[in-house]
């Protein structure tokens, strides 16, 4: 996805999230209070990472407490509910500390000197924590088509790097579904055309009938369901 489609959610009031804003405020404290020029770069980066990780670990515990009190029927008694009154329901644990360390290894959030952790940084960490939480029991992954797997109005390219990742999911026994608003009725060939590069990738990798049977296309705003056959067609 190109940069023109990236959204700065912080600038859109109807898309702000009070939990993310709360976490952002917590992370701002160590960023402001601890100087960046008294120690070596590597040492400072590691200490910043530990400070941020500690904060995410504390928020993780607040979420665990909130989930326990939710099960007891008194979620408003949790400390998190008092800090973020609009907080909703957490259906799984969120390993936030582990998610932060994973994201920080590539994004190096703790190495920044002039830009504190942003709304989008925290949103990415929350997303990663959710992925980590559901991964052991994951059975189904769904994707939109346009602007997610391929450019708007275009077809799935033969050289798309996503082909390898989707095939890996199918080989690991996970169901994969493309959920798209594109509506071609019961004309499976039209959907095949849009996903031609991916289907050819299945054939090239010689996926088994059992593996391709885990691939679905749900089109026309959830009105038409197709399943991949052993001949790599829908």
Contacts of 198 (CB under 8 A, 6+ apart): 149, 156, 160, 162, 163, 166
Six-digit token pair at 94? 């969120």
Six-digit token pair at 197? 């590069």
- DSSP, res 146: B
Integer angstrom CA distances of residue 127 from 77, 124, 218: 26, 5, 24
Closest CA to 138 of 174, 106, 169: 174
Torsion sign (Cα): 63, 143, 16, 101: positive
Catalytic (active-site) positions:
144, 146
- DSSP, res 90: -
Six-digit token pair at 84? 């973020």
């Amino acid at each position: 996805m190109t940069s023109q489609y990236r959204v700065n959610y912080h600038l859109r009031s109807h898309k702000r999230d009070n939990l993310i804003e709360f976490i952002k405020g917590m992370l701002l404290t160590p960023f402001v209070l601890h100087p960046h020029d008294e120690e070596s770069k590597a040492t400072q980066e590691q200490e910043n990472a530990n400070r941020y990780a500690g904060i995410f670990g504390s928020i993780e515990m607040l979420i665990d407490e909130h989930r326990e009190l939710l099960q007891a029927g008194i979620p408003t008694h949790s400390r998190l509910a008092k800090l973020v009154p609009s907080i909703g329901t957490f259906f799984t644990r969120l390993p936030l500390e582990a998610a932060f360390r994973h994201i920080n290894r590539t994004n190096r959030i703790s190495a920044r000197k002039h830009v504190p952790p942003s709304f989008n940084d925290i949103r990415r960490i929350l997303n990663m924590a959710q992925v980590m939480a559901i991964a052991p029991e994951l059975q189904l992954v769904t994707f939109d088509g346009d602007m997610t797997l391929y450019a708007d109005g275009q077809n799935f390219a033969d050289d798309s790097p996503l082909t390898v990742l989707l095939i890996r999911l199918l080989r690991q026994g996970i169901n994969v579904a493309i959920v798209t608003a594109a509506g071609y009725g019961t004309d499976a060939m039209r959907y095949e055309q849009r996903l031609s590069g991916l289907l050819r990738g299945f054939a090239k990798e010689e996926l088994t009938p059992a593996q391709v049977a885990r691939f679905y296309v749900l089109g026309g705003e959830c009105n038409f369901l197709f399943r991949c056959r052993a001949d790599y067609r829908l």
